[in-house]
Structures are given as structure tokens and as C-alpha cells.
Amino acid sequence: MLTVALSKGRICAAATPLLARAGIELDDDPADSRRLCIATSLPDVRILVLRAQDVPTFVEHGAADLGITGKDVLLEHQGVGLYEPLDLGIARCRLVLAEPAQAGPARSRPRVATKYVETTRRFFAGKGMQAEIIHLYGSMEIAPAVGLADCIVDLVDTGVTLAANGLTVCEEIAAISARLVVNKAAMKLSHGRVSALVERIARAAAENGGGCR
Ligand code: PRT
Ligand code: MG
């Protein structure tokens, strides 16, 4: 049996049609099933539906052989024991630094609201700066308006949410999309079966206009 850990929410919504094109049909719709483990049309492949942030943990520990999650989550997790063989080209967005459109003069030690604590720390360290990081779990966009932070690090797609909260992008930190990850030990021990599944998904992603290695 090969177990694939799949990030629920918008990545799951985009990945399900991609998996179907790869010949992997889920027996239940993850959006309205309470099952967290879903069988598929391939008798030896099952899907675990997980919080995005938990996908690398399951794969790293071998509880899942493969995983599908966002590059934002992987940058933050900095997993060891994971290969990242494939960019699926779905759930694309950008990780950005954003600030109020009418920002005051920059501080030497900016206060930055984000859920991407490690990625933000590394980004500022790369500029030779120290940031005061305010760790939030959501609704980062409101933090500058209420004086909690000077700027935010968050995902942006259309930019509508930033604009609605009076924020503009100052800098792009990373281009984000969903990635396929593989447990390193599974890649060695079950090489034939794992690489056949990776190939199947790679072909479907390429047909979809994504799928870079
Ligand atoms: O997990 P959490 O509950 O914190 O986030 P969520 O419920 O907003 O998203 P979820 O769980 O469905 O999926 C999160 C994953 O989807 C991320 O880890 C990314 O890899 C990927 N992804 C792709 C995105 C977006 N695009 C995106 N636009 N995740 C979040 N957003 C948010 C963005 O932060 C903004 O607040 O969507 C909002 C709308 O974006 P605009 O710019 O189109 O207005
Ligand atoms: Mg969510």
C-alpha cells in the first residue's frame, strides 16, 4: 500500500482533478466526507486528508510515503528526509512582504505579522536585518491597521484581500505552488512503486500545463 498525504482546502480542490487525470480517483469527496483516509481507484494507493502544515510531518516520519502541499508550507517546515521531485503547477500564489499604502518611514527593526515565522526570519536575515516577528494564525492583513505590526508576510493571489485592507506589495519573497514530496526511505525501499506513481502524477501535471521538476 502507498499512502499519499494530501493538504485539505484549496490544494485538495485543485489536486483532486489532477489525481483523477493520473488515473487516481478518490472513493469519497474529501470536501464533504468525514473520512480522513480515503481509498482510491488504485487498490494499492490511499489518501490521507490533512492540515497543510501536517503534510511534511507525516511524510518525514514515513506515516505517508508521498505528500502534496504548498511550497510555503515546505519553506517553513524545512524538512529533512523529504524529496521534492515535482512542482504540480496548481494552487499558485506568491509569498510577499506587504505594507500600508501610506507607510511611514521604515524602522530599523520592523514589526512583521505572519504565520511564516521561520521564512520571515530568514528573509530579513538575508538583508542583514532583524525583524520583530508577531506570530499570527490568520487574518494577518488587519495587523498594520490596528497598530499590531508595520508590515505583513503573507500569501497573495489576486491582491484583492491586500487592497481591501489598504496594503500594497513591497517585495516578493517566493513564488508558491503545490509540490509533490516523497519520503526518502520510501523512495529507496519501494523505488519501483513510488517512482511509477510519481511518473503518473508528473504526466498528468504536464498535460495540465504544470509539472516542472
Ligand atoms: O490553512 P489556512 O486555514 O491558514 O489557510 P486557508 O484556509 O486560507 O487556505 P487552505 O487551507 O485552503 O490552503 C492553503 C494553501 O493553499 C497554502 O498553503 C498555499 O500553498 C495555497 N494557496 C494558494 C493559498 C492561496 N493561493 C491564497 N490566495 N493560500 C491562501 N491564500 C489566501 C491569501 O493569503 C489571502 O488571504 O487567500 C486570500 C485571498 O487571496 P487574494 O490575493 O486572491 O485576495
Ligand atoms: Mg485552511
For a mutational test of ligand 1's pocket, the pick from 90, 96, 114, 155, i.e. the residue with the most ligand atoms closer than 8 A to its C-beta, is 155
Instruction: Report pTM.
Output: 0.95
**Which protein residues touch ligand 1 with a CB less than 6 Å away?**
9-11, 52, 70, 72-73, 91, 93, 138, 154-161, 176
CA dihedral 120, 58, 183, 209 (to 10 degrees): -70
pLDDT tens-digit map of 163-195: 999 999 999 999 999 999 999 999 999 999 999
Atom 11 in ligand 1: residue holding the nearest Cα: 9
CA 25 to centroid of ligand 1, rounded, Å: 25
CA-to-CA distance for 99 and 134, rounded, in angstroms?
A: 14
CA-to-CA distance for 10 and 13, rounded, in angstroms?
A: 5
CA 171 to centroid of ligand 1, rounded, Å: 18
pLDDT tens-digit map of 13-68: 999 999 999 999 999 999 888 999 999 999 999 999 999 999 999 999 999 999 99
